[in-house]
């Protein structure tokens, strides 16, 4: 592609676990009521993962859905970014697990931890990478917050939920897609929303576990005050950067933490409430996953049209905040991909499983024959192995000798 490059969202997908946890269910776990939760947050229910699910399994399902909409085979992806604060492991990156599972054979992969602002941070990175020459970047927000919640702490456990949303960001010559973004951070508020233990500062010990240091802690009031101030500021700043007026905005997709925070931003920005998409009632706060999930639902509900001016805005742990202004480029409602293209995209998923199995097995066999660091004389090593197996199968005579 010659000339200017823009980064457009060409595919999108979401996945939430099947298990629904209602406010009524929570009232049997902690001292709370449906009335308190609905009045104070707008949340009615949230999804939580089952035993066999994890951040990567949610991310993979949302990624597959996004690739099918885009009609892009996983092998065409240049980079995968997973925004999450509940990664599969401390390391390696959840993005690498996703890369292997979907068969993104030529993609780089990394995780990005910017709390609930993570998806917009990742979208901003994808925009820069695409403008710099990449063709397709897969951006995922995925969380299993239920795994880091203290289910005896009513201040936090009623607020959060699990889920994942993904978008494919592709290069386009058309002036649309991500037109501006704003990223911000105020680390002086790090302890307002954090997991105190399990990192390098307070490593995991029996004491940190018995004191619940591995659970999320939050000063809700402070985060609330920060959110209601920063959200309108970030929206105004990014709208200015995009060269728009506030009245040009067709839809704001805010981070879904609390209906009251969204309503406060609506008033401060002096925008009609129907310009804000809200689904916090059904999923609670899914952190980095909340904006891509809301985007998918806004598209499904017919709230997004080609040429619309959208603002995404998030805030959260860090403290961090982010906003992006994008002009929607993809035609909607989306036309199903031709069957051959769908086949080319979906065939990649079972092939990826075979490829992964083959690579793991090959590594195992290689290690068994050559040792973990390899060896030049592999034939000699193979003979050694065969001799040892032969020795083992001979009937033993007398006590065993000294070990080699
Ligand atoms: O992605 C960013 C993540 N975080 C957020 O967005 C959270 C932002 N903060 C908030 O949304 C609000 O601070 C909350 C909804 C969490 C709480 O609202 P609040 O107006 O700040 O209430 P509060 O924490 O000051 O608590 C008020 C009362 C307290 O009782 P007392 O001390 O007044 O008797 C709490 O103990 O509400 C009590 N309370 C509850 N009562 C029933 C706190 N949680 C609950 C609960 N059920 N689940």
In eight-state DSSP terms, residue 376 is S
Please state, in angstroms and as integers, the Cα–Cα distance from residue 193 to each residue in 216, 225, 226, following that order.
7, 13, 12
Distance separating alpha carbons of residues 145 and 86, to the nearest angstrom = 6
Cβ–Cβ < 8 Å for 142, 94:
yes
Core vs surface per residue 25-52: b (16+ CB within 10 A) or e:
ebbeeeebebeebeebbbbbbbbbbeee
- Cα 155 to ligand 1 centre (Å): 6
Of the listed 23, 127, 136, 255, which one is catalytic?
255
Beta strand residue intervals within 87-161, DSSP E: 108-112, 136-144
Residue 155 beta carbon below 6 angstroms from any ligand 1 atom: yes
Q: What pTM does this model have?
A: 0.91
Index of the ligand 1 atom closest to the CA of residue 261: 11
Q: Is 255 a catalytic residue?
A: yes
Residue 184, phi then psi, degrees to nearest 5: -145, 160
Cβ count within 10 A of residue 212: 14
CA distance 303 to 201: 45
DSSP bridge partners of 285: 160
Choose the residue to mutate in 30, 159, 220, 265 for probing ligand 1, maximizing ligand atoms within 8 Å of C-beta: 220
Nearest alpha carbon to residue 317 among 144, 85, 154: 85
Distance of CA 35 from the midpoint of ligand 1 (Å): 13
Burial (CB count within 10 angstroms: exposed 0-12, middle 13-18, buried 19+), residue 264: middle
Q: Are strands 320-327 and 162-172 parallel, antiparallel or unpaired?
A: unpaired
Atom of ligand 1 nearest to the CA of 317: 2
Roughly what angle, to the nearest 10 degrees, separates helices 339-346 and 348-370? 20
Q: What is the pLDDT of residue 36?
A: 98
| Residue 338 C-alpha from the chain's centroid | 28
Report the C-alpha gap between 257 and 261 in whole angstroms.
7
Answer whether 315's CB lies under 8 Å from 226's CB.
yes
In a structure prediction context, what are the per-residue pLDDT tens digits for the chain, which is 404 residues long? Answer: 778 899 999 999 999 999 999 999 999 999 999 999 999 999 999 999 999 999 999 999 999 999 999 999 999 999 999 999 999 999 999 999 999 999 999 999 999 999 999 999 999 999 999 999 999 999 999 999 999 999 999 999 999 999 999 999 999 999 999 999 999 999 999 999 999 999 999 999 999 999 999 999 999 999 999 999 999 999 999 999 999 999 999 999 999 999 999 999 999 999 999 999 999 999 999 999 999 999 999 999 999 999 999 999 999 999 999 999 999 999 888 888 888 888 989 998 999 999 999 999 998 887 777 766 665 666 677 777 777 777 776 665 555 545 44
Cα angle 20-114-276, degrees, rounded to a multiple of 5: 60
Distance of CA 369 to the CA centre of its chain: 39
Answer yes or no: 23 catalytic: no
258 a catalytic residue? no
Nearest atom of ligand 1 to the alpha carbon of 154: 48
* Strand pairing class (45-47; 136-144): unpaired
Instruction: Report the candidate in 260, 289, 220, 287 with the shortest Cα–Cα distance to residue 63.
Output: 289
Any idea what the Cα angle at residue 89 is, between residues 88 and 94, rounded to 5°?
Answer: 50
Does ligand 1 have an atom closer than 6 angstroms to the CB of 231?
A: no
By alpha-carbon position, which residue is closest to atom 12 of ligand 1?
A: 220
SS3 assignment for 260-287: HHHHHHHHHHCCCHHHECCCHHHHCECH
DSSP string, 245-263: -GGG--EEEE--S-HHHHH
158 Cβ closer than 6 Å to some ligand 1 atom: yes
Is 256 close to ligand 1, i.e. is its CB under 6 Å away?
A: no
Which residues touch 214 (CB under 8 Å, ≥6 apart)? Answer: 148, 195, 197, 198, 204, 208
* Ligand 1 lined by 38 (C-beta under 6 Å): no
Q: Which of 23, 127, 258, 285 is catalytic?
A: 285
């Amino acid at each position: 592609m010659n000339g200017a490059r823009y980064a457009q969202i060409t595919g999108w997908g979401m996945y939430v676990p099947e298990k629904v946890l209602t406010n009524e269910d929570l009232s049997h776990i902690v001292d709370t009521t449906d009335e308190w939760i609905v009045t104070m947050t707008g949340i009615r229910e949230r999804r939580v993962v089952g035993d066999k699910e994890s951040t990567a399994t949610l991310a993979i399902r949302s990624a597959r859905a996004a690739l099918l909409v885009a009609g892009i085979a996983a092998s065409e992806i240049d980079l995968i970014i997973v925004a999450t604060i509940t990664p599969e492991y401390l390391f390696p990156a959840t993005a690498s697990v996703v890369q292997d599972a979907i068969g993104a054979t030529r993609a780089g992969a990394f995780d990005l931890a910017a709390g609930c602002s993570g998806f917009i941070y990742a979208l901003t990175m994808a925009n820069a990478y695409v403008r710099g020459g990449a063709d397709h970047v897969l951006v995922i927000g995925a969380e299993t917050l239920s795994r880091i919640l203290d289910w005896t702490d009513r201040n936090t456990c009623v607020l959060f939920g699990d889920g994942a949303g993904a978008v494919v960001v592709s290069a386009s010559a058309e002036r649309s897609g991500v037109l501006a973004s704003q990223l911000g951070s105020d680390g002086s508020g790090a302890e307002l929303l954090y997991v105190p233990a399990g990192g390098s500062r307070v490593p995991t010990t029996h004491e940190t576990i018995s004191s619940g240091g591995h659970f999320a802690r939050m000063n809700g009031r402070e985060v609330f005050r920060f959110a209601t101030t920063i959200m309108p500021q970030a929206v105004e700043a990014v709208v200015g950067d995009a060269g728009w007026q506030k009245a040009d905005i067709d839809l704001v997709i805010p981070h879904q933490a609390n209906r009251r925070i969204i309503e406060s931003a609506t008033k401060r920005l002096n925008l009609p409430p129907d310009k804000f998409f809200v689904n916090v009632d059904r999923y609670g706060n899914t952190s980095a996953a909340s904006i891509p999930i809301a985007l998918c639902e806004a598209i499904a509900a017919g709230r997004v049209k080609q040429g619309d001016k959208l603002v995404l805005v998030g805030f959260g742990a860090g403290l961090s905040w982010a906003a992006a202004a994008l002009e929607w480029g993809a035609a909607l409602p989306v036309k199903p991909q031709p069957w051959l293209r769908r086949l080319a995209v979906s065939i990649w998923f079972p092939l990826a499983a075979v490829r992964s199995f083959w690579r793991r097995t090959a590594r195992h066999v290689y290690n068994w024959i050559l040792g973990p660091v390899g060896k030049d004389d592999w034939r000699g090593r193979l003979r050694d192995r065969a001799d040892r197996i032969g020795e083992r199968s001979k009937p033993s005579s007398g006590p065993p000798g000294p070990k080699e």
